[in-house]
Structure 1
């Protein structure tokens, strides 16, 4: 059975469950907040692993071992990984986070053998996967043990139909037809995608494609699954579906999960362990509660989950979920401030009608050739100087709406007016000079061999030449903080950096209207803050921005007016507090907490940490 099995057996048969990392009790005025650790009272800030959990780790089977690993890409300016020493045991659920260029993706590539066999460079130290040294083990053999799911599912899809996509890898290892058929069914069942078996790939939503990518990996029956930001393009509902599947694979089948993720509020409730990367090194490693308590997250470019930040600021144990935060606040006897609700509601949703109309969609319908209707009777006014945020499930029509605003698509019915011009009656070049469009995929923007030339392409399109061009180029590189990247090949940069370079190239065009499709995808907290800061400055100068996003926390802190789409129709429109408060899925973590506390006198429309701190006594 081994030490791990014996400890588990002892826990299950002694009639007592293992103690929780913290159990709040007696949080009244006569007794200080305490936590129970192994049956003994301890200070509430004690966040170390329990002895039973440490025993499990020490007795576990090592699945992955990094030993003094350093790696430098062939064209890299410095090492992508430096002296990494890690051990990941059988059945662990590990979350990896960190800023752009911290080494997260490189770490993943080392596990499945893409480094050193595919990505060239200099490698020191070693990685062992189930005892196999990846330096001397082929990627094809490692693929039977390690499944890799990328950020963009389309990057790993090679066929046009779901069942053939799941079968593709199995055909390459020459499995018998009957075994292959069983594995296809089992893999699709595991990700709850059996109804999609005979669907075309191009008909699937982003969440459905991610499920098929995961099923294609599971068909190999690996013991380790590595996922590089698999929910970054997904709406909250689709992201939860993927995470629930991963949790079930981990808890019921015992698969080892290594998940790279920027939005910690989505994933920490599932994690046994949190690893934070910085500059290619492991900056922190341990139980999520302990890491959140001790690590300097802002310096590492990582956003602490709102409820974790709130309970930490209140001197309570760090909560990882809304439920934990609610119990802690309730049992600690925390009360709302007696002054009522100090939260400013901001301007009403139609306050913009005092400003000039920058863009108008009037009863717009649109259908893709041979497809269903993507927009159905959409009527929206976009005002000069505002940031309008568009939200909704994957495939609801957000991107289609944005493409109508720069003339890439023309309405089947209705009309679209941009800066007084009917998009059906004006050439594409005129609309391109008015608007700047940031695609979801930054690679669609990156055409040049260097970052400097990428920005220069946009500046030349504005007619700049000679000294004027050189001056504008230097100003743009400095303004966006990318002068140190000027000679780098854009596609060799990290995902967040590529997104930032793409945004800088769009903004350099000096458009009147910015159209941003998931602009913060793959960005760390530092880059995300800089992007939103620029957008607010842009709208403050009279520019107009329309942003489609799945990031509810971003919308809660930055959005002005929000449009909510569903199946191509506008189902809600108004000021962000009216749209996000009490929403079933599109509500920020802090709002879900305070909605559940409203019967204790707390306002139910709190959206952010700053607002929460204003209403707590």
Structure 2
């Protein structure tokens, strides 16, 4: 079947063939301009029609570079040297115009704001079909179909700048759906989304793959959420494909290699391996794992190694008293917040997007002033302090690292805040080098920050904060877009700071990270504190968490369900706790 489109007054013919391969990469090596080492080395890859490929690998391994060769962004816009061939629907795309390739290969990026430019949802989704020169009714039909699939029909006239992150990402996906591509590439589309937004996006991707037979390539660090959708997993390391196969086989038989590469398997897979279920075809099934645990796990009150952090000083570090914040227009972002945070606490601040987490965190650094109520730092009202003075007490990492990166060299970025503190050159150099080493950025110190990957830029922003050595560190989604190895390394470093008495408050949508590192959790809902208590206690309240669209870690749900069946075992937060328990209580 041939579909004829018009774009910029020229006729474009796209062949929608029924051959098995929708994309082929043959012996591709690619180097960016002025970069000596190649980002891709002799890559070969075939994508079959209807496949759902999960592409994983450490930050900076070449994942984003690889998928950008499929729609011509590399090398057309990036420059650089590309050897080898890239074929879409059997045709070599060398020299092909990007707008023509967009009819066959659609791509959604990490940040939806980079590809939304119309005023309303409906206008943005219709933009692509309109520029194909399609008949009016075809444009309407395509737009309506995309709105239906993304669940945005009732919002089609809403302004884009008023949308949540999840709604923006669904709009970007809708724009691609309206173009009717054969291959849909999504580069970490849920990295900035809460659990609700993540589920909405993944449901759409699943529907496109299952019902429309569209080939999917998904780059994603949220392995637990996405692995059940994938028919194939590909691991990249240092610009090369090192593993490629069935998800269950890859995670069951190559766990050590995946972990070494910074990719931690889904919890169900990890637990299955502990239970020697790796040859079971249902090894990643909750039911299979639950039944096995019920059968083999000994009952005991002992053997759980709980990771408790001793509070070095129980006096209040931060006090929030009757805090309200009202936005222009009258809506309340915060309502009657009362919290006491002691020196040395390690707190996870969680809740869905719009619950008030970021609004509260911005009050802690003086970016927002209370409508009512007050915030005290070591007994001093924050309203009596200038923002620079607050910054010496409270270090803050924004969710988007690009919001706080503005120099043209990595090392200069870290130096900037230190120079403003009046430190001497020797101390500045010492702190810069320490921060670079801590965040594994030493080899990039002379690079421009925006030549780094998203995960590397995130680590640069963190390095700039850590170099200033504040006593309170507030982190807004600090692990966004990073592989699990870097996440764990970074959070372990934060834990070490916490052990030295630093007060840590981190906002996260990653419940596994909250479970592993925090000792206290604050759950926000509609601008109020909904739950507050020890992490294990909060994750045990699954019904309450469900009302906020938050799920406890799988191992926690498994142990809670086992306790409901009468099994005398402790509630566990991490797979490491399961290992510790089984070691102390051998099967």
TM more than 0.5: yes
d(CA) in 1 for partners of 2:290 and 2:142? Answer: 47
The yes-or-no answer on 1:508 pairing with 2:467 is yes
Contact 2:40 2:66 in 1 (8 A): yes
SS in 1 for 2:324: strand
The yes-or-no answer on 1:612 pairing with 2:573 is no
Match of 2:551 in 1: 586
d(CA) in 2 for partners of 1:334 and 1:266? Answer: 27
The yes-or-no answer on 1:105 pairing with 2:64 is yes
SS in 1 for 2:383: coil
User: Shift of residue 316 of structure 1?
Assistant: 0.8
Contact 2:410 2:449 in 1 (8 A): yes
User: Shift of residue 434 of structure 1?
Assistant: 1.3
Contact 1:437 1:515 in 2 (8 A): yes
Match of 2:417 in 1: 458
d(CA) in 2 for partners of 1:466 and 1:104? Answer: 38
User: Shift of residue 385 of structure 1?
Assistant: 0.9
Aligned residue among 289, 304, 312 for 1:343 = 304
Structure 2: gaps spanning 5 or more residues:
2-17
User: Shift of residue 615 of structure 1?
Assistant: 4.4
Contact 1:345 1:577 in 2 (8 A): no
- With over 3 angstroms needed to count, the CA separation of the structure-2 counterparts of 1:346 and 1:260, relative to structure 1, is closer
The yes-or-no answer on 1:552 pairing with 2:514 is no
- With over 3 angstroms needed to count, the CA separation of the structure-2 counterparts of 1:478 and 1:330, relative to structure 1, is closer
Aligned residue among 428, 433, 444 for 2:392 = 433
After superposing the two structures, state which structure 1 stretch, 467-476 or 289-298, moved more. 467-476
5 Å-filtered alignment, 1:463-542, equals 463-542=422-501
Contact 2:71 2:98 in 1 (8 A): yes
5 Å-filtered alignment, 1:348-359, equals 355-359=314-318
The yes-or-no answer on 1:405 pairing with 2:364 is yes
- With over 3 angstroms needed to count, the CA separation of the structure-2 counterparts of 1:136 and 1:319, relative to structure 1, is farther
User: Shift of residue 131 of structure 1?
Assistant: 1.8
5 Å-filtered alignment, 1:43-62, equals 61-62=20-21
The runs of 4+ residues in structure 1 deviating greater than 4 Å are 318-323, 344-348, 351-354
Contact 1:305 1:320 in 2 (8 A): no
What TM-score does the superposition give when structure 1 sets the normalisation length? Answer: 0.86
User: Shift of residue 603 of structure 1?
Assistant: 3.6
Task: State the number of aligned residues.
Answer: 558
- With over 3 angstroms needed to count, the CA separation of the structure-2 counterparts of 1:401 and 1:319, relative to structure 1, is farther
Contact 1:116 1:135 in 2 (8 A): no
5 Å-filtered alignment, 1:155-194, equals 155-194=114-153
Contact 1:594 1:602 in 2 (8 A): no
d(CA) in 1 for partners of 2:213 and 2:71? Answer: 19
d(CA) in 2 for partners of 1:255 and 1:549? Answer: 32
Contact 2:110 2:187 in 1 (8 A): yes
User: Shift of residue 328 of structure 1?
Assistant: 4.4
d(CA) in 1 for partners of 2:124 and 2:326? Answer: 27
Match of 1:417 in 2: 376
The yes-or-no answer on 1:304 pairing with 2:265 is yes
After superposing the two structures, state which structure 1 stretch, 430-439 or 354-363, moved more. 354-363
SS in 1 for 2:260: coil
Match of 2:278 in 1: 317
What TM-score does the superposition give when structure 2 sets the normalisation length? Answer: 0.90
| Cα RMSD after superposing both structures | 2.3
Which string of whole-angstrom CA distances, capped at 9 and with x for unpartnered residues, describes residues 499-526 of structure 1? 1111001111111111100000011122
- With over 3 angstroms needed to count, the CA separation of the structure-2 counterparts of 1:321 and 1:607, relative to structure 1, is farther
SS in 2 for 1:195: helix
The yes-or-no answer on 1:327 pairing with 2:288 is yes
Contact 1:70 1:84 in 2 (8 A): yes
User: Shift of residue 453 of structure 1?
Assistant: 0.8
User: Shift of residue 600 of structure 1?
Assistant: 5.6
- With over 3 angstroms needed to count, the CA separation of the structure-2 counterparts of 1:380 and 1:344, relative to structure 1, is farther
After superposing the two structures, state which structure 1 stretch, 598-607 or 499-508, moved more. 598-607
